[in-house]
């Protein structure tokens, strides 16, 4: 028992030291992450409206429940003003440092209620709620079940295709495991790491993290958690219920999404200066 206690204390001390080192690294970046986030939040609000007027062309490259639900809800709104307001409010909910006003909060509450399907007793009492399943989601689920393709088979093919195609578009491959691929691309003064995950409930997930130094080292990140559905305020950018014939189009779609952000990142990073970070103290 005493040995276990010592090991736990040692592990805790090592964890604290690692956290302190990361915090020191972040302090060395001075105000760079804050300035980038300020620019990024402003860009998100502009970009979400631009995507609305593109008829959600980029959003539709991702097929998952959050996308289907948000698009279905937008279709119930009668005026363009209401639709643009909803899209903007959804973005602000996740990408603003200020609180939503009362009208915006009501907009979100109506959307949340739309996503719920009540279970009612014969008396009329509501017994509970389930999550709304859109026609698009159910159709993809049925198609996937009928095809019978196993998730591990699909993710393996996705990973292989992305590894082959991504190197020329996403930068250098800096991490490769059976469940993840990380690509790194230098843009201006920073390094954008695009991480793909194949081990969660989803068949594939992607996200960008921006670092001040190469290698994806902890503590040198300027921003994290960036992907199209996060800047739109819809959710995480994941794919579900793909079958083999979907894979080429899915790979091309995610490359297009990444390229769209790479181009935006050039402007978001323009004029920023990375202070020397170096090794942790």
Give residue 70's Cα distance to chain centre.
16
User: In the chain, what percentage of residues exceed pLDDT 70?
Assistant: 84
Compute φ and ψ for 189, nearest 5 degrees: -90, 0
Let me know: does 247 contact 157? Beta carbons within 8 Å: yes
pLDDT tens-digit readout, 75-111: 999 999 999 999 999 999 999 988 999 999 999 999 9
**CA–CA gap between residue 261 and residue 65 (Å, rounded):** 23
What is the Cα Rg of the chain in Å? 22
pLDDT at 30: 72
pLDDT tens-digit readout, 107-156: 999 999 999 876 665 566 555 667 899 999 999 999 999 999 888 999 99
Give this prediction's pTM. 0.87
How many Cα neighbours within 13 Å face the side chain of 105? 5
| Domain locations along the chain | 32-269
């Amino acid at each position: 028992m005493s040995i276990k206690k010592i090991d736990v204390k040692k592990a805790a001390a090592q964890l604290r030291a690692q956290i302190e080192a990361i915090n020191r690294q972040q302090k060395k970046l001075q105000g760079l992450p804050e300035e980038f986030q300020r620019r990024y939040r402003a860009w998100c609000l502009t970009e979400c409206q631009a995507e609305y007027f593109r008829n959600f062309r980029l959003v539709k490259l991702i097929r998952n429940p959050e996308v289907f639900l948000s698009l279905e809800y937008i279709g119930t709104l009668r005026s363009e003003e209401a639709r643009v307001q909803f899209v903007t409010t959804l973005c602000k909910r996740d990408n603003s440092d200020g609180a939503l006003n009362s009208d915006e909060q009501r907009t979100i509450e109506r959307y949340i209620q739309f996503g719920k399907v009540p279970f009612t007793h014969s008396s009329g009492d509501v017994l509970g709620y389930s999550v709304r399943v859109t026609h698009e989601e159910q159709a993809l689920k049925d198609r996937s079940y009928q095809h019978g393709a196993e998730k591990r088979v699909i993710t393996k093919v996705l990973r292989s295709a992305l590894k082959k195609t991504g190197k020329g578009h996403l930068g250098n491959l800096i991490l490769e495991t059976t469940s993840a691929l990380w690509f790194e691309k230098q843009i201006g003064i920073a390094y954008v790491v695009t991480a793909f995950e194949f081990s969660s409930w989803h068949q594939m997930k992607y996200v960008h993290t921006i670092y001040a130094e190469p290698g994806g080292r902890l503590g040198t990140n300027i921003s994290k958690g960036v992907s199209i559905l996060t800047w739109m305020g819809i959710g995480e950018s994941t794919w579900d219920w793909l079958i083999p014939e979907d894979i080429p189009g899915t790979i091309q779609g995610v490359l297009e999404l990444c390229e769209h952000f790479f181009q935006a990142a050039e402007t978001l990073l323009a004029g920023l200066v990375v202070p020397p970070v170096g090794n942790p103290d």
